[in-house]
A = this chain, B = another copy of it.
């Protein structure tokens, strides 16, 4: 036996206070899932059929539509490469694209803090317009609430969206199959580290920019090029959390080759300095895809020709079924198991 069998191993998780909400409940990792499984889903019962993908699929008049929602609370509001407005549009466009839907309409709900400057709000809204234009979606409805000073932190934006899923498209976290090739669309960790660098209290400086971008056009190219089985945008919780979710939904073992993973040197350096792992840092303009083995080359080629897929790379493969695991082959030949983000690494990252 030349490999350790990790089955059944467990890792200690941080103590989880059960009586109050902590920042980690918004992390997108284990605690978020806990809150969903232990509170939201049991209480909502039949009112909320369980859905694990980035968007829920709703069939109306025989046509499948994707619907999704995201609240955005990023701090600071402006960071290198983006702002809360661009984030709000792209986040929802991407959630729709991750089930193969063509985004049609968005709604925007603003919660504003009394005293916010019009100039700042204007910059945010202008940025939303630009992102919406780039993605080719329109904003069908909006709502604005204002709370007193100190009742909210400047601006929160909820963006919900609906998109159409074309006939024959069937993309879900549950569709990974043995042999599938795992592709990421570019370097990971850029968004999280860019936002970190903008938080003045950390005094951390880097020229890195957030990757926040709408991925719907990239997804369209991928779908034209080959059979796409799984798509996910690794936002909160990072790539590791997305891969673990997919391994569980599809009940497969995924092997990732660490040296294949595109990571910018500045991101690596920042992570080392701050004690972060790029695998768990949020992205806002990247996707991870599981592609049918024979189509992987064609899809990768198509991705590389697009605006946001230039650094796309094959990073791994589905090596088995029946055992939900994500194995990371390290540069020096070791293997470690990836887990979901247990708590909170970077609060208010999106």
Contacts and interface: CB of A to CB of B under 8 A. Distances in A.
Interface string A251-277: 000000000000000000000000000
A51 interface: yes
A111 B73 contact: yes
Main secondary structure of the interface of A (DSSP, over half): mixed
A141 B56 contact: yes
Contacts of A156: 71, 111, 145, 152, 156
Given A48-B138, A156-B156, A69 B112 contact: no
Interface stretch (A100-108, A187-195, A219-227): A100-108
Given A70-B109, A109-B158, 19 more contacts: A18-B118, A21-B114, A25-B144, A39-B121, A39-B125, A43-B122, A43-B126, A44-B125, A46-B138, A48-B142, A55-B141, A58-B140, A60-B63, A61-B63, A67-B141, A67-B162, A69-B108, A69-B142, A73-B145
Nearest to A347: B148
B26 A125 contact: no
A23 B114 contact: yes
A104 B60 contact: yes
Contacts of A113: 21
A58 B161 CA distance: 12
A146 interface: yes
A112 B156 CA distance: 12
Interface stretch (A127-135, A203-211, A288-296): A127-135
Most chain-B CB neighbours within 10 Å: which of A58, A104, A151, A347? A151
Contact of A118 (B39, B119, B132): B39
Copies in the complex: 2
A315 interface: no
A67 B109 CA distance: 13
> What class of interface size applies to chain A in its complex with B?
35 or more
B21 A121 contact: yes
A113 to B, nearest CB: 7
Interface string A175-208: 0000000000000000000000000000000000
A56 B205 CA distance: 44
Interface of A: 18-27, 32, 35-36, 39-40, 43-49, 51, 55-56, 58, 60-61, 63, 65, 67-73, 75, 104-105, 107-119, 121-122, 125-126, 128-129, 132-133, 137-148, 150-153, 156, 158, 160, 162, 164, 347-348, 350
B43 A125 contact: yes
A73 B55 CA distance: 25
B26 A109 contact: no
A147 B46 contact: no
Contact of A111 (B45, B58, B111, B162): B111
Most chain-B CB neighbours within 10 Å: which of A45, A156, A158? A158
A68 to B, nearest CB: 5
